[in-house]
Chains A and B, each alone.
Chain A
Amino acid sequence: MGKTIGFLLAGIAGGVLSGLFGIGGGTVLIPIFGLLLAFDQHKAQGTSLVALIPPTGLLAVIAYAKSGYVSWWTGALLIPGLFVGGIIGAKIARRMEPRRMRQVFAILMFALGAWEAMGALRR
């Protein structure tokens, strides 16, 4: 029971950040699974993918689309690459050990965060 509520709350937290930043929410779910619920890194990532299968961002997309903030054509072009890349990435992940994976995750996230933040400050 406590766990059920924990998962739901993790989902709501992931969802708020997903809608706020236009991301899938896995960036939030994986640290929650890994650091608070003690999943190992592979299981945290596999479980996060489950949460990404249903169209969880539907209400958020509607909120953005109402203000004209969706580029449908660009989006449609991104989808095939995401699907194929996903399989390639998962095959690589299966061969990595969990601690190394967590480090790769952290480095990529830090680099992308710095890229975003610096761009906004430069102007």
Chain B
Amino acid sequence: MDKLQYADVNRDVVRSLVETGRGYYTTLAIAIAVTLICFFFPWFYQLFYGIGAAGNNHPAVWGTYLASFIFWIGLSHSGTLLSCVLHITNSEWRKAMYRSAEAMTLFSLMVAATMVLVHLGRPWFVHWTLPYPNQMELWPNFKSPLLFDVMAVTTYLTGSTIFIYMGSIPDFAAVRDRTRGWRHHMYVLLSLGWRGTDTQWHRLNWAYTFLAVLIIPLAVSVHSIVSWDFALSIVPALHQTIYAPYFVVGAIYSGTAGIVTVMFVLRKYMKFEQYITQVHFDNLGKLLLALSLIWTYINILEVFTGWYSGTSSEHEAMKFKMFGYYAVLYWEMILFCAFLPLVLISKRFRTSFLPMLILSIAINIGMYTERFLIVGTSLSRQYLPDAWGLYVPSLVEISILIGTLGMFTTMFLIFVKIFPSVSIYEVKETMDKPEKKQSEGGAAWQTTS
């Protein structure tokens, strides 16, 4: 089709909100079904039976639930984080993709939070981790890295929520003006009386940039803190200074890969071919390549420091991770996260959609494996050999893992029907000013932006 007009943008985006095909509903139905059957039923069983429903034992008391927690927190990065960085550096190509990227952040964080509940032995007392005045006159333990976690994650969640909402206000307004019925009323509320006056624009930009700057260190801190749950222990192979950067890089790495996946889906199924283009995939590809190199470097470091420590405990832990019961997984991780991404050197690869999709999925499989190995292998090889053990996930755990994917998809599907998943006004900023005589859409943008 010929060059994109402002009007087309409004039309396309609004279409993505109001026009819903049967395909959408079937996907949604499947997603919800998966969530119920694979997540909630097993979880309720576990609540009834006890954590024994999972494969944990002595000494491997942690398992996939925490691995999933780290994974989803990781995925949440580079949604908002990336969006912020790119916003501050005014990189144009960000604008078509950041909204859905931020949404990813939001929903992964929510899934991560539920994983905490699933992990707890007595989730019905989880509120004891919050510092609120109570009849027991007890505070939580502020020395505990787990408590740092609670703080960091909740803050990050709040920050991201505000950030994504704020960025969407003008678009809510745009949609408000092109919808009627209950949708109209909904957007009236959501758009908070946005009229597009200069003052409003001015304040929005200021606040938006301010938040962006604020969120960057926050995002970095979140995964550093998650890493401390492990690094602050004295468990061989976990007790490592490299862990914070290791986790942050890993997080952005898997997050970026996640974005690629989501971009592909949106582009294909929400018909955003003109908005999400090869440019985006090219840039994301470059980013992925850089991240994979750093990630590989840190992995080499991890092994090296383990070996260099010269202590039996570190050596055995490393040996078990690399050549033990789960050796296959370890080398699968190395293949998917260290070697495969090297193809990103070729521009042809970066700019071809399907291969990028496959790679991005492979990377996230590898990254989940990384988290599983961190939790699943280290605890089995600690200081007292007599107490060594082995941890194997149970069916309940695997089912819940699948269920969380369903949960994430469900939330995302609902999102794309409420939020304009491509930022209308910022996309327009990237386009040339329209000629005077207008196709019918004109009024729309004049009133809104």
Q: Do A and B bind each other?
A: no
Residues of B near any A CB (own CB < 8 A): none
